[in-house]
């Protein structure tokens, strides 16, 4: 398959499935689902075997060798947490040690099997993410084997957060809706205070959303936001309400942007801008 200017591949990886997309292109960007592959969640080697088969077919049968490849990991596969920098931190090693200690404190495990990345900062709390070292090593090996240029591997929430950075308004929180789960980035002024995740109950309306945001603000210890900006297929009713609104709510993506797409394809599409 001949690659047009600006085109690339995006691979979505979840515990129960994979999806490969072709995105971008000039003069108009688009997203096309190339493959969706279910995986038996939790079965030994199931994810590895699925990735091997999917990328082998993409390289050989679809002629996608040497294409740029970005990977979006489902948030169930990663860990996200806030790290307060230690007082007097001056070296990258100080921040890395603080992130590792915080990981161990929050998740009750040593961080050795995980690869940690972060928006490192010695002056303010920063967001850190950890992905399984074995999965990242597998992706790097398969990319080399099949000739893909591995550009980026990012958790879904981080991919969505980065893609909407320019759209975010002062005083706003950011949220991602995916697979019946709402993940919130709670801000204290311009600083990210916490990332909170909750299952969306059936029939959740604007009243539920307002109560949920109010509870999360109390738990985090920050004020309720002036606005909530949501990415992903959020209910349209969340953007409006009968009566007085406690905060504004903006849907950054139309829920019909990709009608009928499988959930794993939506995962892969996160942050693509196409």
Whole-Å CA distances, 236 to 108, 261, 265: 39, 18, 21
Rounded-to-integer distance, Cα 165 and Cα 167, Å:
5
Whole-Å CA distances, 150 to 31, 138, 153, 179, 265: 19, 12, 8, 26, 19
**CA geometry: angle 219, 230, 106, nearest 5 deg:** 35
Summarize the confidence of residues 27-48 as an average pLDDT: 88
Can 8-75+132-158 and 166-251 be said to share one CATH topology? yes
Q: Determine whether domain 8-75+132-158 maps to CATH 3.30.420.10.
A: yes
| pLDDT tens track for 99-142 | 999 999 999 999 999 999 999 999 889 999 999 999 999 999 99
| pLDDT tens track for 156-201 | 999 999 998 888 888 899 999 999 999 999 999 888 999 999 999 9
Q: CA torsion 207→210→216→222, rounded to 10°?
A: -160
In this predicted structure, what is the pLDDT of residue 30? 81
| pLDDT tens track for 41-68 | 888 899 999 999 999 999 887 778 889 9
Domain map (residue ranges) of the chain:
8-75+132-158, 78-128, 166-251
Whole-Å CA distances, 204 to 37, 180, 252: 30, 10, 19
Q: Determine whether domain 166-251 maps to CATH 3.30.420.40.
A: yes
Higher pLDDT, residue 6 or 131: 131
In this predicted structure, what is the pLDDT of residue 256? 43
In this predicted structure, what is the pLDDT of residue 243? 53
């Amino acid at each position: 398959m001949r690659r047009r200017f600006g085109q690339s591949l995006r691979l979505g990886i979840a515990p129960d499935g994979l999806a490969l997309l072709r995105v971008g292109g000039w003069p108009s960007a688009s997203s096309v689902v190339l493959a969706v592959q279910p995986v038996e969640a939790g079965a030994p080697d199931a994810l590895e075997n699925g990735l091997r088969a999917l990328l082998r077919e993409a390289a050989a049968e679809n002629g996608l060798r040497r294409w740029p490849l970005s990977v979006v990991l489902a948030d169930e596969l990663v860990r996200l947490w806030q790290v307060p920098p230690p007082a007097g931190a001056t070296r990258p090693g100080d921040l890395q040690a603080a992130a590792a200690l915080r990981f161990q404190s929050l998740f009750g495990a040593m961080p050795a099997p995980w690869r940690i990345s972060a928006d490192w900062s010695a002056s303010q709390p920063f967001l850190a993410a950890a992905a399984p070292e074995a999965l990242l090593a597998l992706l790097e090996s398969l990319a080399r084997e099949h000739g893909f240029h591995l550009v980026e591997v990012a958790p879904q929430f981080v991919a969505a957060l980065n893609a909407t950075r320019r759209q975010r308004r002062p005083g706003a929180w950011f949220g991602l809706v995916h697979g019946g789960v709402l993940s919130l980035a709670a801000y204290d002024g311009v600083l990210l205070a916490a990332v909170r995740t909750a299952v969306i109950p059936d029939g959740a309306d604007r009243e539920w959303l307002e109560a949920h945001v109010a509870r999360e603000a109390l738990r985090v210890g920050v004020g309720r936001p002036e606005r909530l900006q949501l990415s992903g297929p959020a209910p349209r009713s969340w953007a409006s309400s009968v009566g007085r609104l406690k905060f504004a709510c903006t849907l950054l993506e139309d829920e019909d942007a990709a009608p009928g797409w499988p959930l794993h394809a939506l995962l892969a599409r996160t942050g693509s801008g196409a």
